[in-house]
Structure 1
Amino acid sequence: MAGVFGHPGYSRFWAADTVSTFGTYVTTVALPIVAIVTLRATDAQVGLINGARWLPYLLFGLLAGVVADRYRRRPILVATDVARAALLALIAALALTGMLNIPALMLLVAVFGVLSLLYEAAHQSYLPRLVPPAALTPANARMEQSASLAQTTGPFLGGSLVAAVGAPLAMVVDAVSYLVSGLLLATIRRDEPAPRPGRRHLGRELREGLSWVYRHPVLAPYAVTLHARFLFASVASTAFTLFVVRGLDPRLAPDRAAFGLGVVLAVGGVGAVVGNSLSHRVGRWGAGRAIVLERVVEPLGWTLMALAATGTAGWVMVGAAQFVVWLALGVSGPNEMGYRQAVTPDRLQGRMNGTIRSLNWGMLTIGAPVGGLLAEQIGYRPAIGLAVVGMAVAATVAVLSPLHHARHPEPAPEPAPEPAGRN
């Protein structure tokens, strides 16, 4: 697996992704605390703020895929990284000066979502230009291992920073990480194909991307069950964050509970690291089996969270639950990305990723507000329980579909040696 770093440009691509991912987990803890503590948002308002982050994926996800296929991808990555750094710095400044309110935060978070949408459509489509198809699974595994390592330390760092200096200043760390990521990506020296010349028809390009995903015998059930997984996981995760900050340990103030949230998410990161280390081995059974395994195991972890006690025992239970959920996601992630990148032609990479991600993350636009509303109306545990039922239905569909037959492409055979010449 170490051989993937021998491909030109991959090391800097990996380093940029690793740096920005570390920072992102700081904001994962800090942003809800800005809403809950600084702006005194209700449960429903927290859900709406979370939903605003993902609304652009639902509205513009398909267009982002077209952009990633029409234009060179590295400049998109650099520009969106720098812009996101500036936007996070602006949110922090407004919060520190008392000029931030809930509508303004929702607007800024939505703009951040547009930038992230463009970045991710280009990011997932750029990797196949750096490594060959047979190396995509280990290349994705390396990146997910780094992301998992970031998850083990980023939330802990985020919780510690929030407790020490406050949520707004903690978000500045993420702003710096995006700036560093953009600078690293700008230094990659790898030629990209020039955009295709001539007139292009937007509607035809959109239909082509949709058709490739939803008429493919394996990508179709994969995408549909993944969309459902994102919908119900967003309901559960919104209720879970509120549960940990407000209901798991009534002895703690919300800003102190944020430190505990960071620790719990870090335990999930340990599970993801373990899962990533096993992903290549499990993938030998078939990419589809690794994906189906995740669909089945994840609702079990969320069930444990819904059943968590309060106080110290509750912290242990939610930590164990996070470990189980992220262990399953860690096993599946590299296999998912490696498979779908390998079976998709380069000219469709942006639209394939944009199509799948637009509805994946667009589901958060629906699920996050629903999760906040359910938490407010029926309680944190019942809201998580309802989400578990939905995940279980999606898992059943995945088990019964052709998805479990998916296999990674075989590595290209070594060229035959040249015959020895006659003396």
Structure 2
Amino acid sequence: MSTFRRFLIGDFAGSFGAQLSLIAVPTYAIEVMGMSVGGVSLIYLSQWLPPFLFGLAAGHFADRQGATRLMVAADLAAAAVAAVLVVGMLRRGLTTAALYPLLITAATAGCFYAVAAATIIPDVLPPPRRHQANARLAVSRAAAEATGQLVCSRLIGLAAGAGAVAADGVLRLVRAAVILRLSPGGLKAEAPPQGTGQRDTPGVFLLLLRERPILLQFLAAQGISSFAGAFIVAFFLVYAYRVLMVSPAQISLMLACGHIASTLGAMLSPRLTRAHGLWAMTRLFLCVSVAATWLLVVARFGPPVPLLLGYEALFSFSFAVFSVGLTTMRQNITPATLQGRAASMVSVFGYFAMISGSVMASLTTLSPERGVVVGCVLSTLSVLTVWAGATGRKEGEAVMAAELSQSD
């Protein structure tokens, strides 16, 4: 079995398990601990803060200490947290003071795993095979999320959710065992950009951005998209329920449609870009995803349900194509010795954008209609970042030409 297939199997198991805890823990906090809405919000905040605070450190360790050891250590830590949670849940002795530190520890472990995992594909596969591998990984994680939600609905009643958390811990150990058998790809002999040397400071990434302006453009585009997405989400449910008068059942249908479309987008991404080029199609589908957000505004003046379904399907499909293409582009233009730090910078920037978008939305006094419009305008700005700059266009075309030549 190839290294990538082993990694894919292990990643599916761990992602499946993480989905179980993601649902079971907040449910336990509400039903057993009697936690308020504010307390549940802090649970989700505890999942966002560690990647933002420790992402750069995770990238440094992934580049210097090796991804495999870091991923195994992270899974062992997450499994230990799951065991402590299960004991507390079974004894009904889990307190708020204990819950938040445990969740922050688990999220920190997840952050280190995610950054280290981002270096596996560029380490074991050459550029021509990375796009297909990234697409398969995206589909695998989407399948793990969907099946995890389905199974958790059956396990949630087992010992007040402790059964689901216990299953998560076991699956983390399974993933650690699989990851231990990975063989390094040996592609890290590539030299870093000139002038970076072996320094372990954030300046090494800034030097990379200076030599790779295309990476800066896509990093900005992803950050603006994440900020705008978080801003829109803050207004969306109120906008849908109170302004468009959409029912909860219709919202569920829309989200299911988006999930299917996102999976299809990831599956078809390599085929779409093979004919027209990675660089061109990544930019094109970013534009399509931004155009799709404006259907939210149009829904105010037309039949809301069909337009919202169209928005969710078109946006999810096109953004999945864009995301897989963006990941592949970043891997191909980043030296192998800096893959971890590049992935961590993208992660940190993305989480910062999401947190900022949510906070900005909470501080505004805009109506739901105006909030959605402002979010769409902000989303449109992301298009400008990847269409501006002659240097970026030339480098993008060069990357695409290099891929094609290596494929041949």
Q: Same fold (TM over 0.5)?
A: yes
Displacement of 1:215 in angstroms is: 4.8
| Alpha-carbon distance change, 22 to 240 in structure 1, aligned in 2, over 3 angstroms | farther
Query: How far apart, CA to CA, are the structure 1 residues paired with 2:216 and 2:240?
Result: 35
| Alpha-carbon distance change, 351 to 180 in structure 1, aligned in 2, over 3 angstroms | same
Summarize deviations over 1:368-405 as a string: whole Å, max 9, x none.
5556x469x77877665544442222234334456666
One of 244, 260, 266 as aligned partner of 1:270: 260
Summarize deviations over 1:248-277 as a string: whole Å, max 9, x none.
99998xxxx9xx988765433311221022
Query: How far apart, CA to CA, are the structure 1 residues paired with 2:340 and 2:406?
Result: 28
Paired residue for 1:419? Answer: none
Paired residue for 2:58? Answer: 64
Secondary structure of 1:218's partner?
helix
Paired residue for 2:192? Answer: none
Q: How does 1:167-246 map to 2 (within 5 A)?
A: 167-190=161-184, 205-213=201-209, 215-237=211-233
| Alpha-carbon distance change, 237 to 172 in structure 1, aligned in 2, over 3 angstroms | farther
Displacement of 1:13 in angstroms is: 0.8
Secondary structure of 1:187's partner?
coil
Does structure 1 residue 289 correspond to structure 2 residue 280? Answer: yes
Summarize deviations over 1:194-218 as a string: whole Å, max 9, x none.
99xxxx9996542112321355220
TM, length-normalised to structure 2: 0.78
Does structure 1 residue 397 correspond to structure 2 residue 385? Answer: yes
Instruction: Provide structure 1 residue ranges, at least 5 long, that are not aligned to the other structure.
Output: 416-423
Paired residue for 1:333? Answer: 323
Query: How far apart, CA to CA, are the structure 2 residues paired with 1:261 and 1:158?
Result: 21
Do the aligned residues in 2 keep the contact of 1:9 with 1:188 (CA within 8 Å)? yes
| Alpha-carbon distance change, 414 to 295 in structure 1, aligned in 2, over 3 angstroms | closer
Does structure 1 residue 360 correspond to structure 2 residue 353? Answer: no
One of 341, 358, 361 as aligned partner of 1:351: 341
Secondary structure of 2:177's partner?
helix
Query: How far apart, CA to CA, are the structure 2 residues paired with 1:217 and 1:38?
Result: 51
TM, length-normalised to structure 1: 0.75
One of 7, 10, 15 as aligned partner of 2:9: 15
**Structure 2 counterpart of 1:148, one-letter code:** A
| Alpha-carbon distance change, 100 to 295 in structure 1, aligned in 2, over 3 angstroms | farther
Query: How far apart, CA to CA, are the structure 2 residues paired with 1:280 and 1:237?
Result: 29
**Structure 1 counterpart of 2:132, one-letter code:** P
Secondary structure of 2:220's partner?
helix
| Alpha-carbon distance change, 50 to 381 in structure 1, aligned in 2, over 3 angstroms | farther
Secondary structure of 1:395's partner?
helix
**Structure 1 counterpart of 2:381, one-letter code:** V
Seq. identity, %: 22
Q: How does 1:139-178 map to 2 (within 5 A)?
A: 139-159=133-153, 161-162=155-156, 167-178=161-172
Paired residue for 1:133? Answer: 127
Do the aligned residues in 1 keep the contact of 2:296 with 2:311 (CA within 8 Å)? yes
Query: How far apart, CA to CA, are the structure 1 residues paired with 2:172 and 2:369?
Result: 35
Summarize deviations over 1:320-343 as a string: whole Å, max 9, x none.
644333212321232112211111
Query: How far apart, CA to CA, are the structure 1 residues paired with 2:403 and 2:240?
Result: 45
Query: How far apart, CA to CA, are the structure 2 residues paired with 1:307 and 1:87?
Result: 46
Q: How many residues are matched?
A: 395
Displacement of 1:315 in angstroms is: 8.4
CA RMSD after TM alignment:
4.2
Query: How far apart, CA to CA, are the structure 2 residues paired with 1:381 and 1:132?
Result: 47
Query: How far apart, CA to CA, are the structure 2 residues paired with 1:167 and 1:383?
Result: 37
Summarize deviations over 1:13-52 as a string: whole Å, max 9, x none.
1111122223333444445544555555555554443233
| Alpha-carbon distance change, 223 to 34 in structure 1, aligned in 2, over 3 angstroms | farther
Paired residue for 1:410? Answer: 403
Displacement of 1:156 in angstroms is: 3.6
Does structure 1 residue 81 correspond to structure 2 residue 97? Answer: no
Do the aligned residues in 2 keep the contact of 1:28 with 1:155 (CA within 8 Å)? no
Do the aligned residues in 1 keep the contact of 2:89 with 2:160 (CA within 8 Å)? no
**Structure 2 counterpart of 1:177, one-letter code:** L
Please say which of residues 279-288 and 339-348 is displaced more in the overlay: 279-288
